[in-house]
Structure 1
Amino acid sequence: MRSGEAPRQRAGYRAGYEGPVPSGGLLDLLNVSATVLDAHGRVVFWSPQAQQIFGYGAHEALGRYAARLMVDERYWEQVAELFAQVMDEGTGWAGVFPVRHKDGSTRLVEFRNVRLEGEDGAFYALGIAVDHAVLKRAERDLALTARLFAQSPIGLGIVDTGLRYLVVNPTLARINGKPVHQQVGRSVREVLTDFMDPAPIEEAMRRVLETGEPLPDQFAVAPTPADPGGRDHAWSVSYYRLEDSAGQVLGLAVELVDITEQHRASAEAAAARRRLTLIADASARIGTTLDVETTAGELAESCVPELADLAAVDLLDAVLRGSDRSWEPSGSAAVRTLALTGYGVPALSFPVGHVARYGPDHLVTQCMTTGRPALAPHVTGEELACIAPEHAVTVLSRAGAHSCLAVPLVSRGQVLGALALARSRNPVPFTDDDAVLALDLAARAAVSIDHACSYQSQRQAAENLQRSLLPQKPPYRPGVDIACRYQPASALSGIGGDWYDVIALPDDKTALVIGDVMGSGTAAATTMGQLRMATRTLAALDMDPAELLHHLDGITGDLEQQFATCIYAVYDPHRAGCRIATAGHLPPVLLPADAAPRFLDIPTGAPLGVGYLSSQTVQLRIGPGDGLLLYTDGLVETRSRSLDARLDLLLRLLAGPPRPLEETCDHLLQQLRHPDEPDDVALLMARMR
């Protein structure tokens, strides 16, 4: 036939075909032979297959007695009896009999013998023979195939080229939800359309039929009538084209394996790996600073979007205010939102730092009261009003929030606040596993937040001490304008050493003082306060600057922090002069009204507390419009650049037309000072009128 007639040829495998159909090839596989004997036992017909079984060609067998040709003489009598039975009684005989091959070997051959009657009324014997070993091998293979097909836990089926089921094993019948007889002869679409979309399956089958390339292990998720719960199952589906020995396409084999448990285990393992990764990332991300707001933000960002679409970190307002930190469960809780992070969620209408009071039914209050996660896996827009702050309900509802979770922030047995989470884009509700993960993240962050709160409390106390020991505002002095600044160090241990002072002296004179106690912390701040008071006491005696520093040197040796640097300058507006002495301090900067700024060349001397101070007083003429800058080393010393380079930069920043003193102080701090510098700094600027 021509190739265009192939569809009709394939259709012959279905009921209602017309015309001849190509052989299936099974007879060729068995190599069935046919021989015909006359009433005397002579061979009158010899098929080509007989030569393959017995070894004799037709020209060698025709006309000869079959028994003498193919059977050992020991069996001649038995063969004669069987032959007579067939010929006389007309009954058939079937069985296995040893025959002699032309090569002399003996083989077992299975026979089917029947009597035939010719047109002339004569009788003949038809013998159908198959090599016994070949037949048994085929029977074994068929039995094994049938047994496996019937008892396999894997769904197996065969469809024809029109995608109609030809064979369905019990497992596939159960998966498809119909008895075998209701599936055989029906199309794939008719069988599957009740519980799933069959289009992708039909497309895959047609592709395999057309290309001949198998599609093994195709992953699919679909329900099955075999599961009354209606849950989706995971399937591994394989398709193979079936062909006979002549290459004729018979149809398609389908293999369906339920891998739901493996898929679930794999998904759980993947989820566990993601959780471990999230915890590891959060451990590295959370607590990088001792700042409460930063730590809260790091916790919120660690949760989004891997764990939630929206994360808020709420701390008890009492904790942030530094009051009693013990959480006493009551009807409501006043919390402050320190961090808010969303993924695919519109910005909420309230800013970070907003204080809200949550009622006892709120998730945040519940988790802080019980110390355990509070989970609302499924919530509606109406229910959001019970678990979200009033100002956030509208936005959360519009974003489609459908699942909420809150876990407490607990450190050293004390509740600090809560981590609140919501899902909107992620359709999967929060589970107990998510609650455990969130609780782990919250516990890690709570320790950092607790440390940050303690640090900020101690830092605030140290700053308050430091600032209480410094003048709050420089006093008005005749003939001179004054501006001053103090900026603490970024670290708690860096607070305390630097000070400045402006002291009123008789005859309208003004003492300008700046100093730096070596060391840091509250001990340095205490020493600074003692030296400042001592300087004020000595200044009242109107001493020469060098003499005053000499007395301070003796006082410093008796203090806890035994070393300090200091500059003491006395400005007299009536004489337009200034007397200056220094004890180990960086040189002051003179800002002439009509010239470039320069450092004053003053004998530095040893720091206070060394014991052999040799300061000298320098007389300086300074007139109206001239200025003087006193500063501590925190302004110019840095680890990244040399001191000389920083001092040159200071002069460049002071060059040009004079600015207002307050503006100049801010400009210097902005350009020279980094927020993370480990040392504090003091500035004192004066401009003569």
Structure 2
Amino acid sequence: MSRAERLPAEIDRPEDGASAPSGLMDLLNVAAVLLEADGKIDMWSPQAEELFGYSVDEAAGQFAAQLLIQPEHRDAAIRLFAEVMETGRDWAGAFPVRHRDGSTRLVEFRNMRLQDNLGDYYALGLATDRSTLRQVERNLALSTRLVTQAPIGLAILDTSLRYVVVNPALAAMHGVPEADHLGRNLCDVLAGPGFPAAEKAMRRVLETGVPVVDQHTVGRTRVDPDNDRAWAVSFYRLEDHHGRALGLANVVVDVTDRYRAAQKADRAQQRLRLVADGSARIGTTLEVERTAQELADVVVPDLADMVAVDILDSVLQTGRTELGEGPPVFRALAVKSAYPSPATEALVPPGQLTSYHPDHPAARCIRTLRPVLISHVAEGDLARISAGPEAARLLARAGIHSDMAVPLIARGEIIGVMGLARARKPLPFDEDDVALAIELASCAALSIDNAVLHQHVRSAAETLQRSLLPHPSPRHPGLEVAARYRPAQAFNEVGGDWYDVIPLDGDRTVLAVGDVMGSGITAAATMGRLRTATSTLADLDLPPAQVLTHLDKITQSLDPYIATCVYAVYDPHSGRLQVASAGHLPPVLVQAGRPPELLGLPTGTPLGVGGVPFETVTVELRPGDQLVLYTDGLVETRDDPIDERLGDLLRLMSPPTRSAEEMCDRLLQRLRHPSGHDDVALLIARAQPLAAP
């Protein structure tokens, strides 16, 4: 029967992991020597042969003192041996021993008395080289001090990834006592989304043996549950001298300060990018609503989860901040959320008017001209930041946890408020966020104020422009007349386009269209003066070329303005149309049976240039024919050649079956862009048979 067959069933075989030999015993190379009661060597282990140099044949039966001890130390050795045999007390210590090669070595001994079943005594000596033992002790002491006193976290985990050793530094980092680590996994000690990935990396290192160095892990601990902490963790597999895995070593360095500094730097760069983005994207137009929406688009989602931009209604109505005795009245201009949220239902929709209770952040901003920051929204704060109980319920349902309101201040006057909130963003608003919001709000406030001012000036100019234009009757002798005026759209200013229909003696009618170069109130006023002069000159019954000559002199006195103009006189009795142009686009003549054409008039120079005579051209205008006078805003665009646009105009005029009114609407609908940058004056005259007296 072999030795392996004689082993009890409960004892694992050496190939099993539980019975693997200890590497420490192999490292110490402990020798065993059994002495009889008289001091003779009875048993001699292979390790003893290696330690002392004598083979078992050379040592067995020899007196140990004579074989191993120098003469000067033999008495002491015999005395110690006798004491052990007589008293049964163990003896341990170092003793000089003679090696077979003649050298003397200091050997560490552990001696003990043994008794067999017959009552006889033996002495068992366990020995190892003193220098080897001291080296192991030094290494162990050094390792122990390194582990316990190291400022970095150190831990050893077994093959099931359970902690077996944890140093004080790691226990302090985790905020968990050392004893509470033992026998538990990482995710049992620390809970959070970042730790399962670290435990997965541990398992991979244990399986492959490939170490992981400086893997960053971010999470929260029991001692600091409200703030993220960061660690640089390293894992490497521990192996015995046979290469078998004993477990895992874990080295942890707390890099929270570095992590927070990097986050702060990232936030600073993000703020710079956001400010640069805001400067480029906010204020691209002179439209109040669009500017407010641009501000909202910049803020969400980079700074806030949702935003609302409200402007004082008095600013929109009068251009001035007027705060009465009651609560201020706001008009909501823009609302935006980074994702669908119940909170948007709690905000006032754009275009609607609202007022807030005195403790609302918007109302406080108006009173103090200072931002209001509620970093952590408690349950009691929901009533403060909402317009009412239902709105507070919606904000709570949306998970709003941080709120801020900043004033919109332009030229020293507050014009509105921007409100921001966070729900999904985990970090609360801080003072840096407030500073960033104020900078963006200041940029937007100036643009909004400019847009409001422009709207008021534009409204005044448009009002003046319309008041100076005539309201012609659709019926004149021998003519059906239709006219339209469309001011410049969007953020463009009203110009100086005009038209006029002036009745003369003899059933004749003056048809005029002009365009004053420039825009705004002054251009509209100049247009009014030229139109008045045109009406006065028409009463003098002068040919069109002479009328333009007089208008040219008048325009020169209105320096620096110049204008273009087409002046025509139609006589229904003769069917003749006399026309002259001063630098204006040619009229369109539409005659039955012929394609529409541009009248070949001498272009002439614009009014106000002077020194160039004008010419009058006479054409026939029969019943059913149409004459179209227009300004450049109808056909000129920034992208299309003028020849193509004039071609489009001619195609739209054919066939001339529509009435003058219908043709006006058709041309404006097909040629006029909704955001046209220039005014349009359009005048269409359709010849009709002259009624009997």
Tell me what 2:409 maps to. Answer: 410
Gaps of 5+ in 1: 15-19
Tell me what 2:624 maps to. Answer: 625
Residue 309 (structure 1) aligned to one of 293, 305, 310: 305
The within-5 A match list for 1:240-255 is 242-246=238-242, 250=246
Report the AA paired with residue 315 of structure 2: V
Tell me what 1:321 maps to. Answer: 317
The secondary structure found in structure 1 opposite 2:461 is helix
Residue 278 (structure 1) aligned to one of 271, 274, 278: 274
Task: Return the offset for 1:194.
Answer: 11
The within-5 A match list for 1:42-121 is 46-54=44-52, 57-58=55-56, 76-90=70-84, 92=91, 94-95=93-94, 97=96, 102=101, 108-112=105-109, 114=111
The secondary structure found in structure 1 opposite 2:476 is coil
Task: Return the offset for 1:628.
Answer: 0.4
The secondary structure found in structure 2 opposite 1:575 is coil
**CA deviation vs aligned residue, 1:416-461 (integer Å, no higher than 9, x gap):** 1010223444465544443333222212211221222233333333
Kindly indicate whether the alpha-carbon contact (under 8 Å) linking 2:634 and 2:680 is maintained by their aligned counterparts in 1: yes
CA distance, structure 2, for counterparts of residue 467 and residue 356 of structure 1: 33
- Relative to 1, partners in 2 of residues 1:269 and 1:518: Cα closer, same or farther, differing over 3 Å? closer
Residue 354 (structure 1) aligned to one of 352, 356, 360: 352
CA distance, structure 2, for counterparts of residue 628 and residue 132 of structure 1: 123
Moved more, 24-33 or 211-220: 211-220
Tell me what 1:33 maps to. Answer: 31
Aligned length: 670
The within-5 A match list for 1:425-574 is 425-426=424-425, 429-472=428-471, 476-489=475-488, 495-561=494-560, 563-574=562-573
**CA deviation vs aligned residue, 1:159-200 (integer Å, no higher than 9, x gap):** 65677765454456667888766776xx43899589999996
Moved more, 666-675 or 287-296: 666-675
Kindly indicate whether the alpha-carbon contact (under 8 Å) linking 2:516 and 2:564 is maintained by their aligned counterparts in 1: yes
- Relative to 1, partners in 2 of residues 1:685 and 1:142: Cα closer, same or farther, differing over 3 Å? same
**In the alignment, structure 1 residue 211 sits paired with structure 2 residue 210:** no
Moved more, 35-44 or 268-277: 35-44
**TM-score where L is the length of structure 1:** 0.82
Task: Return the offset for 1:339.
Answer: 1.1
Kindly indicate whether the alpha-carbon contact (under 8 Å) linking 1:344 and 1:425 is maintained by their aligned counterparts in 2: no
The secondary structure found in structure 2 opposite 1:23 is coil
Kindly indicate whether the alpha-carbon contact (under 8 Å) linking 2:287 and 2:490 is maintained by their aligned counterparts in 1: no
Tell me what 2:87 maps to. Answer: none
**CA deviation vs aligned residue, 1:584-605 (integer Å, no higher than 9, x gap):** 3222101124432111122333
Moved more, 577-586 or 666-675: 666-675
Residue 370 (structure 1) aligned to one of 356, 368, 371: 368
Residue 327 (structure 2) aligned to one of 319, 323, 332: 332
Kindly indicate whether the alpha-carbon contact (under 8 Å) linking 1:636 and 1:650 is maintained by their aligned counterparts in 2: yes
Kindly indicate whether the alpha-carbon contact (under 8 Å) linking 1:208 and 1:240 is maintained by their aligned counterparts in 2: no
Report the AA paired with residue 478 of structure 2: G
The secondary structure found in structure 2 opposite 1:569 is strand
- Relative to 1, partners in 2 of residues 1:388 and 1:169: Cα closer, same or farther, differing over 3 Å? closer
The secondary structure found in structure 1 opposite 2:355 is strand
**In the alignment, structure 1 residue 288 sits paired with structure 2 residue 287:** no
The secondary structure found in structure 2 opposite 1:565 is strand
Tell me what 1:146 maps to. Answer: 144
Task: Return the offset for 1:283.
Answer: 2.6
CA distance, structure 2, for counterparts of residue 624 and residue 11 of structure 1: 121
**In the alignment, structure 1 residue 137 sits paired with structure 2 residue 132:** no
Task: Return the offset for 1:513.
Answer: 0.8
The secondary structure found in structure 2 opposite 1:149 is helix
- Relative to 1, partners in 2 of residues 1:63 and 1:600: Cα closer, same or farther, differing over 3 Å? same
CA distance, structure 2, for counterparts of residue 58 and residue 288 of structure 1: 101
CA distance, structure 2, for counterparts of residue 7 and residue 223 of structure 1: 44
Kindly indicate whether the alpha-carbon contact (under 8 Å) linking 1:364 and 1:406 is maintained by their aligned counterparts in 2: yes
**CA deviation vs aligned residue, 1:193-229 (integer Å, no higher than 9, x gap):** 89999996998599469836567757363543xx3x7
Task: Return the offset for 1:625.
Answer: 1.7
The secondary structure found in structure 2 opposite 1:188 is coil
- Relative to 1, partners in 2 of residues 1:628 and 1:177: Cα closer, same or farther, differing over 3 Å? closer
Report the AA paired with residue 344 of structure 1: P
Task: Return the offset for 1:616.
Answer: 2.6
Task: Return the offset for 1:650.
Answer: 1.4
CA distance, structure 1, for counterparts of residue 418 and residue 299 of structure 2: 10
CA distance, structure 1, for counterparts of residue 11 and residue 683 of structure 2: 105
**CA deviation vs aligned residue, 1:634-675 (integer Å, no higher than 9, x gap):** 333344333322221211121225334334333323433345
- Relative to 1, partners in 2 of residues 1:210 and 1:149: Cα closer, same or farther, differing over 3 Å? closer
Among the aligned pairs, what percent are the same residue?
46
CA distance, structure 2, for counterparts of residue 553 and residue 206 of structure 1: 92
- Relative to 1, partners in 2 of residues 1:320 and 1:205: Cα closer, same or farther, differing over 3 Å? closer
The secondary structure found in structure 2 opposite 1:507 is helix
- Relative to 1, partners in 2 of residues 1:562 and 1:248: Cα closer, same or farther, differing over 3 Å? closer
**TM-score where L is the length of structure 2:** 0.81
- Give the root-mean-square deviation of aligned CA atoms: 4.5
Task: Return the offset for 1:471.
Answer: 2.3
Kindly indicate whether the alpha-carbon contact (under 8 Å) linking 2:544 and 2:567 is maintained by their aligned counterparts in 1: yes
The secondary structure found in structure 2 opposite 1:560 is coil
Tell me what 2:691 maps to. Answer: none
- Relative to 1, partners in 2 of residues 1:32 and 1:384: Cα closer, same or farther, differing over 3 Å? closer
Moved more, 343-352 or 586-595: 343-352
The secondary structure found in structure 2 opposite 1:604 is coil
**CA deviation vs aligned residue, 1:74-96 (integer Å, no higher than 9, x gap):** xx443334333334544846226
The secondary structure found in structure 2 opposite 1:483 is strand
Report the AA paired with residue 110 of structure 1: V
Tell me what 1:648 maps to. Answer: 647
The within-5 A match list for 1:189-228 is 207=203, 211=207, 217=215, 219=217, 221-224=219-222, 227=223
- Relative to 1, partners in 2 of residues 1:276 and 1:80: Cα closer, same or farther, differing over 3 Å? same
Kindly indicate whether the alpha-carbon contact (under 8 Å) linking 1:563 and 1:610 is maintained by their aligned counterparts in 2: yes
Task: Return the offset for 1:309.
Answer: 3.0
CA distance, structure 1, for counterparts of residue 104 and residue 324 of structure 2: 96
Moved more, 617-626 or 521-530: 521-530
Kindly indicate whether the alpha-carbon contact (under 8 Å) linking 1:111 and 1:127 is maintained by their aligned counterparts in 2: no
Moved more, 236-245 or 476-485: 236-245
The secondary structure found in structure 2 opposite 1:609 is coil
Tell me what 1:17 maps to. Answer: none
CA distance, structure 1, for counterparts of residue 481 and residue 450 of structure 2: 39
- Relative to 1, partners in 2 of residues 1:596 and 1:351: Cα closer, same or farther, differing over 3 Å? farther
Report the AA paired with residue 219 of structure 1: T
Task: Return the offset for 1:398.
Answer: 5.6
The secondary structure found in structure 1 opposite 2:303 is coil
- Relative to 1, partners in 2 of residues 1:257 and 1:536: Cα closer, same or farther, differing over 3 Å? same
CA distance, structure 2, for counterparts of residue 180 and residue 604 of structure 1: 98
Tell me what 2:612 maps to. Answer: 613
Kindly indicate whether the alpha-carbon contact (under 8 Å) linking 1:587 and 1:602 is maintained by their aligned counterparts in 2: yes
The secondary structure found in structure 1 opposite 2:415 is strand
Report the AA paired with residue 284 of structure 2: T
The within-5 A match list for 1:13-28 is 21-28=19-26
The secondary structure found in structure 2 opposite 1:358 is coil
CA distance, structure 1, for counterparts of residue 366 and residue 242 of structure 2: 77
Task: Return the offset for 1:552.
Answer: 2.2
Report the AA paired with residue 682 of structure 1: A
CA distance, structure 1, for counterparts of residue 14 and residue 54 of structure 2: 40
**In the alignment, structure 1 residue 300 sits paired with structure 2 residue 299:** no
Task: Return the offset for 1:149.
Answer: 3.0
The secondary structure found in structure 2 opposite 1:333 is coil
